[in-house]
Amino acid sequence: MKTFSRVLLAGGGAAALALTSGAVVASASAVTGTAAPIVLRAAPGYKAPKIFGTTFQKDPKHDFTKRIHSRHDGILRGRITHLRGGVAEYEPIRWKKGTHTEGRFVGPPEGDVMAYASRVSRGLVYLSALGCGKVGTDLTVDRGTGLGAKRCSRSIVAKRLERPALITVHKGAIVKIQEIYTP
C-alpha cells in the first residue's frame, strides 16, 4: 500500500517527501553518506471511511455551487460515473439496507449535485475485487475487509464504471481506487 511517510535521514534530520507515482526505494548514502535505506511513498495514509456506511461522506470545504472540481484530499466511498481524457467524475455512495436483500449502494438522489471531478494519476493503483479479466470469473477480494486485493492495470477503470470503491484523492488527483466487493 502506498502511503505518505516521514523519511528519517541518518544524523536525525527529517524530510517529508511525496511522489505522484509508484513507491521508490533509494539509498540514504546518496543523500547522507550512510547506508540506511530510504523509502519514498506515493500518497498519505488517509483514514478510510466505514465501508458500508449509511450516510454520505461530507466534504465541508467543497463548494458544489461552483463548477465540478476535485474533492479535498482523503478517501471517499464512491463510484466513478464518467471517465474522459484522464479525468474521472465520481460521486459519493452510501449503503442502503434492503427489506428483501442485505442492501445495496446508492448515490445521491436525482437532481442532487454531489459530484466531483479529478484527474487520474499516471501512477494510479487500481485494486480489483473481481479480478482483472472478465468480471466475476476470479474473485480477488480480501476476505477480512471486503476490499479488492489484486492490482490491475489502469485501463480496467474504464471497464468498471459504477462499481462501488474507496477512491483516494491526493493533491487533486485520484491515486488509488479499491473496489468494494458486493455480491
Amino acid at 150: K
Q: Which residue has the cell 493503483?
A: 125
- Partners of 140 in the β-ladder: none
Q: What is the value of pTM for the model shown?
A: 0.75
Report the chain's terminal Cα–Cα distance, integer Å.
25
Q: What are residue 22's phi and psi, to 5 degrees? A: -35, 160
Whether residue 109 is predicted with pLDDT greater than 60 in this model: the reply is yes
Q: Based on C-alpha coordinates, what's the Rg of the chain?
A: 18
Give the residue extent of every domain in the chain: 74-179
Q: In 10 A of CB 79, how many CB atoms?
A: 21
Amino acid at 103: G
* 56-82 average pLDDT score: 92
Higher pLDDT, 147 or 59: 147
Contact 167, 148 (CB under 8 A): no
The cell numbers describing 116, all together, are 466531483
- Partners of 147 in the β-ladder: 142, 180
CA distance 147 to 54: 17
What pLDDT, in 10s, does the model give residues 121-155? Answer: 999 999 999 999 876 678 899 999 999 999 999 88
